[in-house]
Amino acid sequence: MSPPPNKPPEQSSGRWTWWLVTGCATVILLGILLTALRQRMTLSANQSSAPLSANANERTAAGTSHLRQRRENDGPALSVQEMVAQKVVRFVQGRRETLAKLAKHLNLEVPTEFDQFFHVAEIGSWEDIQKLFKTMNDRRQREAGSEAMASLWPVVTETFGVLEQTHKWPAQQLLDYGQAVLGSLRPDMVYLGGTDAGRFIPTLLNDTSDGDRHIVLTQNAFADTSYLAYARFLYADQLNPLTGEDSQQAFQAYLAEAQRRLQHDQQSPDEAPQLRRGENIQVTDNRVQVSGQVAVMAINERLLNALIKKNPDVSFAMEESFSLPSTYVNATPLGPILELRAADAQTALTSDLAAQSLDYFRATARTLAVDPETSANADLRTAYAQQATAQANLFASRNLPAEAEQGYRLATELSPTTLGPVNQLAELLARNGRMTEANQLLDHFAAQNPSQQQQVQAERDYLATLRRH
């Protein structure tokens, strides 16, 4: 800009002052604009260099993209490792506050080791966390009568589970897996996670989300009265929770049913046995005694059904670790997990919907196969295989045997060392008159996984029982 002509000499100083101020302002403005442009270009480059997983549906992809774009304190874009690390610290701090509130609510004093655990969990190494957790767990088992240890333990267990999964999973894969689950949920859905990955990874992402959150539970701990009390403390204002009375009713009902099945097998040995594999039931002095994982999960299944019944207007979604056949009635695939009580005609299970589910896991298998970081991670592959197995269990229960077979085979492709889907497929084949194929399947798995020979033989023995009946 040129100064206006014919100005009096006394205005010369004012003109130069005006030029100086204007020039400084222009330089500052250009600096701000260039900085913003560089930040925008950096963010854009980061977005384009981090592709989404090929198996993500539209809602999941949007959720993962949102996670990757999060920035803290208006600074540079965070790496996924930094993002997960910040979430872990935030989660640990939140659970430490929950521990204090729960202790106050129960009028209990927090054990010194618990405070130490949360301090180490926030700043310590994974090795230190493991050692301290083991020490605490050993003490808890020795002091089974300690009310504080028992009542506050679920907070510690949940925190340790989250830390363990973040140690095992690569950061990006952890975010993708968690968002695949959470991104499938509709607003206000209650989510139930069964496996460690299916429970703790969504818990971490859900509880550190800046958006809407879900109720996250695990059906595998419903038989634990301390866990039920913890869940009531967390969600009693949002959900009609399970109570101690519900727990007692489920336990007594299971004992009565188990006793009837045991009597049947003893009195009618020529008929098909009714006791389940691994179900340990004995009668001593006219008292029924049950033990083992199968019995515990049967009680958990009853309590899950009770929770659903107590909340008729609530939608539930589940990632299962053990097959819970009674929950398959009106269930349907929901992304990588299951929606329970999906009676709506638009969500009812059909062969087309089953085919979409199979396509989802085919894409997942292809994605994992081409990524060296995921193909070598057994925990990660097992987690996806479990999801495929659960949906195959659903298809088998709903008279879709071809789709169930494909689901089990995809699960074995996802995790060739996992016996669960192999056993399920062998049983499906045997029940459909394909016993030779079932035994060939088991032989092939045993040859590839010699350390699991004993478990494979137990499955052969079970199939022989099916053949006799």
Query: Is residue 219 domain-resident?
Result: yes
Query: Is residue 191 domain-resident?
Result: yes
Count of C-beta atoms within a 10 Å radius of residue 15 = 12
More confident residue, 51 or 405: 405
Among 220, 235, 250, the domain-final residue is 235
- Could you read off the pLDDT of 206-244 as tens digits, one per residue? 999 998 899 999 999 999 999 999 999 999 999 999 999
Q: Which of 366-380, 384-398, 417-431 has the lowest mean pLDDT?
A: 366-380
Query: Is residue 371 domain-resident?
Result: no
pLDDT band at 469 (very low <50, low <70, confident <90, very high): low
User: CA angle, corner 45, sides to 41 and 49, nearest 5?
Assistant: 175
Q: Please report the pLDDT score of residue 312 as a whole number.
A: 95
Shared domain for 107 and 174, answered yes or no, is yes
Shared domain for 143 and 281, answered yes or no, is no
Q: Please report the pLDDT score of residue 75 as a whole number.
A: 60
Shared domain for 170 and 288, answered yes or no, is no
pLDDT band at 291 (very low <50, low <70, confident <90, very high): confident
Among 313, 344, 375, the domain-final residue is 313
Shared domain for 229 and 261, answered yes or no, is no
Query: Is residue 132 domain-resident?
Result: yes
Q: Please report the pLDDT score of residue 5 as a whole number.
A: 41
Whether 48 shows a pLDDT value over 60: the answer reads no
Q: Please report the pLDDT score of residue 134 as a whole number.
A: 96
Shared domain for 258 and 152, answered yes or no, is no
pLDDT band at 80 (very low <50, low <70, confident <90, very high): very high
Whether 258 shows a pLDDT value over 70: the answer reads yes
Q: Please report the pLDDT score of residue 417 as a whole number.
A: 95
What is the average per-residue pLDDT within 8-23?
40
More confident residue, 281 or 190: 190
Q: What are the helix (H) ranges across 126-243?
A: 126-142, 147-168, 171-182, 196-207, 225-235
**Mean pLDDT over each residue of the chain, to the nearest integer:** 85
Work out how many domains the chain is built from and give that number.
2
Q: Please report the pLDDT score of residue 231 as a whole number.
A: 97
Query: Is residue 363 domain-resident?
Result: no
**Is the Cβ–Cβ distance between 205 and 176 less than 8 Å?**
no
Q: Please report the pLDDT score of residue 277 as a whole number.
A: 83
What is the average per-residue pLDDT within 339-360?
86
Shared domain for 169 and 308, answered yes or no, is no
Q: Which of 35-49, 121-135, 423-437 has the lowest mean pLDDT?
A: 35-49
Q: Which of 33-37, 343-347, 348-352 has the lowest mean pLDDT?
A: 33-37
Shared domain for 183 and 262, answered yes or no, is no
Q: Please report the pLDDT score of residue 278 as a whole number.
A: 82
Shared domain for 111 and 191, answered yes or no, is yes
Cα(173)–Cα(187) distance, integer angstroms:
24
Q: Please report the pLDDT score of residue 347 as a whole number.
A: 67
Cα(89)–Cα(452) distance, integer angstroms:
38
- Tokens (6 digits) for 271: 């008929």
Distances in whole angstroms, Cα of residue 468 to Cα of each of 260, 266, 278, 431: 22, 16, 19, 12
pLDDT band at 353 (very low <50, low <70, confident <90, very high): very high
Query: Is residue 129 domain-resident?
Result: yes
Shared domain for 85 and 161, answered yes or no, is yes
More confident residue, 343 or 418: 418
Is the overall model pTM greater than 0.75, yes or no? yes
**Is the Cβ–Cβ distance between 204 and 166 less than 8 Å?**
yes
Nearest to 393 by CA among 449, 323, 446, 467: 323
Among 216, 235, 254, the domain-final residue is 235
Shared domain for 79 and 111, answered yes or no, is yes
Query: Is residue 228 domain-resident?
Result: yes
Query: Is residue 409 domain-resident?
Result: no
Burial class (CB in 10 A: 0-12, 13-18, 19+), 203: buried
Q: Which of 195-204, 258-267, 297-306, 445-454 has the lowest mean pLDDT?
A: 258-267
Whether 68 shows a pLDDT value over 70: the answer reads no
Shared domain for 77 and 153, answered yes or no, is yes
Whether 102 shows a pLDDT value over 90: the answer reads yes
Whether 42 shows a pLDDT value over 70: the answer reads no
Q: Please report the pLDDT score of residue 290 as a whole number.
A: 85
Cα(449)–Cα(415) distance, integer angstroms:
12
Distances in whole angstroms, Cα of residue 441 to Cα of each of 283, 350, 396, 409: 37, 28, 18, 10
More confident residue, 387 or 372: 387
- Could you read off the pLDDT of 391-425 as tens digits, one per residue? 999 999 999 999 999 999 999 999 999 999 999 99
Domain that holds residue 230: 68-235
Shared domain for 254 and 278, answered yes or no, is yes
Whether 18 shows a pLDDT value over 50: the answer reads no
Whether 379 shows a pLDDT value over 90: the answer reads yes
Count of C-beta atoms within a 10 Å radius of residue 41 = 10
Whether 247 shows a pLDDT value over 90: the answer reads yes
Whether 16 shows a pLDDT value over 90: the answer reads no
